[in-house]
Amino acid sequence: MSRRARVMVIFPRDFSQRAAHAARVFICASLAAFVAGCAAAPAEPLPALDIDPGRVAVAGVSSGAYMATQFHFIHSSRLRGAALVAGGPYGCAGGSLEAALGPCMTATPAPPDADALATRVRERAAAGDIDPLAGLAGDAVHVLHGKADSIVAVEVSLASGALYQRLSDEAGGIAVSFDTDRDFPHLLPTLDKGIDCELGGEPWLGRCGFDAAGELMARLFGEPAASAGEPTGELRRFDQTAYVAEGTDPLLADEGYLYLPRACAEGGRCGLLVAFHGCQQHAGNIGEAFVRDAGFNRWADVHQVAVLYPQTRSSYLPLNPKACWDWWGYTGADYDTRRGAQPRWLAAAMSALGAPMP
C-alpha cells in the first residue's frame, strides 16, 4: 500500500471534507477578527479633568505596591497617601534582582531593615532624588497582607509600613495602618469577583467576601457617604505612548485604562487614584479582569475619583517576563527616583489628566 493510500485509510474522505470545511471557517473567522481589530477605534489621549489636588493617591498590588510606594516617596508633596497590598518598602531591592527575589519577597535570609532604608530615604530626599520628607506630612498609608500569602512574606509588608513609621516624626506625622489578620493568599480580595479565594492564582483577584478596594479607598479618601453599587461610569482605553519622555523606554504597553465616574466625565471636580496591577496581572495577560473587577470602579463613583490603570508589558531583554513594575532596576539605575523612566511617564500622564505634577 502506498504512503498516500495509508494516509487515506487513517483519514477517510468524509473526515478530510469536514477538516477542509473547518479550516475554511477558521480562516474566515480569523480574517473577520483581524478586520474588526483593524477597524477598532485607536486609543485616545487622556482627557483634561478638574482634579482636586488634595485628593490624589496611589495604590498597588505586589509589584504594583512597590511601584506605589516608590511613586509616593518620589512625589509625596503631590499625593495624599498610598495603599499597599502584599508589597515591600521603598528602596528594598537597591537595584539588585537577587535582593528583590530574596529579602524583598521571602524575607530571607532576613527581612528588610526599616532603619537602614529610612537612612537611604533621608539621603535621597537631601539629594533631591525624591521629595523632601515634609511632603509626607498628614498622608495616609495603609498596608494590607493576607495570612495565606505564600509569595510575599508578611514581614516584607510590615517593613513597608515600618519605614513610614520611622520617618513619621521627621515628616510631621504619617497615618500608618495595618490589616494583616485576614486569611487570603497572594491576591487582591473582592466580594465576588475572580478565582476562589482559597485557591488563589490568576487573575489574582479572589472571591473572598471582603471588599479590599472599598477599604483601601476609605483609608485614602475618607469614609464614603454611601454604599457602592455596580459602576455607572465609563472605562476608557488611552494611548500610553503619548507620555513617554524622549530618550526613555518605560517598558509599558501601548494602551492603558482610565475609569471615569459620570460626575468626572461631565466636568465636575474629582480626585484621582492610580491603581497599579501586580506581576502577570496586566491586560496583556488577563485582559480587562483587573481594570473591571478589582472593585475600585464601583467605589470611584461614590468617592468621585477617577481611576488610572497604567499597564506594563513583558520583556526578556531587559528581563521582565511577568510584566512586573520596576522595583529592582530593569529600566535603569534611577528607576526609583524622579528621573526613572516609569515615574517620569506616570507624572506626565497624571499631569495630562490635570493632577498638579511637576
User: Which residues does the annotation mark as catalytic?
Assistant: 62, 149, 186
Task: With beta carbons less than 8 A apart as the criterion, state whether 211 and 233 touch.
Answer: no
CA distance 224 to 204: 26
Angle between helices 212-221 and 296-303 (to 10 degrees): 30
Residues in the chain: 358
CA-nearest of 74, 235, 68 to 157 is 68
- Grid cell listed for 346: 506616570
Distance, C-alpha 108 to centroid of its chain: 25
Task: With beta carbons less than 8 A apart as the criterion, state whether 355 and 53 touch.
Answer: yes
Q: In whole angstroms, how far apart are CA 304 and each of 46, 74, 84, 232? A: 18, 25, 21, 12
- H/E run at residue 305: strand 305-309
CA distance 218 to 236: 24
CA distance 204 to 214: 17
CA-nearest of 213, 214, 217, 258 to 234 is 258
